[in-house]
Amino acid sequence: QVRLVESGGGSVQAGGSLRLSCVASGDTYTRYPMAWFRQAPGAEREGVAGIDSDGSTRYADSVKGRFTISKDNTINTLYLQMNSLKPEDTAMYYCAAETGFLEEWELLRVDMFREWGQGTRVTVSS
C-alpha cells in the first residue's frame, strides 16, 4: 500500500523556521515528481514547491527565496525547508507524488498529482 506521511509541522513565530518531511513507503516515490501544497482555512489548496525526478524545482512566487524543496532518494524522503516564515504561511501542508511524467509548469498544479499525504499543520504567529 502506498503511503505518504508528513511530519515537522508546528507553531512558530514570524521569522522562524521549520522543516517538513514526507516519507514515502510502498514505492520509491522520490524518483517521481513530488511537491508540497498547502491549504489555509477557507482557501483552495495551492502549490508551494515541486521537484521533478531530475531534481529541477519550481516555487510559488510567495515562497521564493524563503522555502527550499529537496529529496533524499536513499531514504524515500521529501523535505521542505521553510525560513523567514510569515503569518500568511499558516496552513495545512500536504505532500504529493505522481508516478507519471509532468512538465515543469505542472509541478504546482493540484490536479496533476494522484497520491497525497494526510497533511501537517503549520501555524505562524505575528
The per-residue pLDDT for 17 is: 98
pLDDT in the model for residue 34: 94
Encode pLDDT of 10-35 as tens digits: 999 999 999 999 999 877 777 889 99
Q: What is the model's pLDDT at position 1?
A: 64
Output the nine-digit C-alpha cell for 55: 531534481
**CA atoms of 13 and 99, how far apart (whole Å):** 36
Length of the chain: 126
* Inter-residue contact 40 to 65 (CB < 8 Å): no
Please, is 28 exposed, middle or buried when counting C-beta atoms within 10 Å of its C-beta (0-12, 13-18, 19+)?
exposed
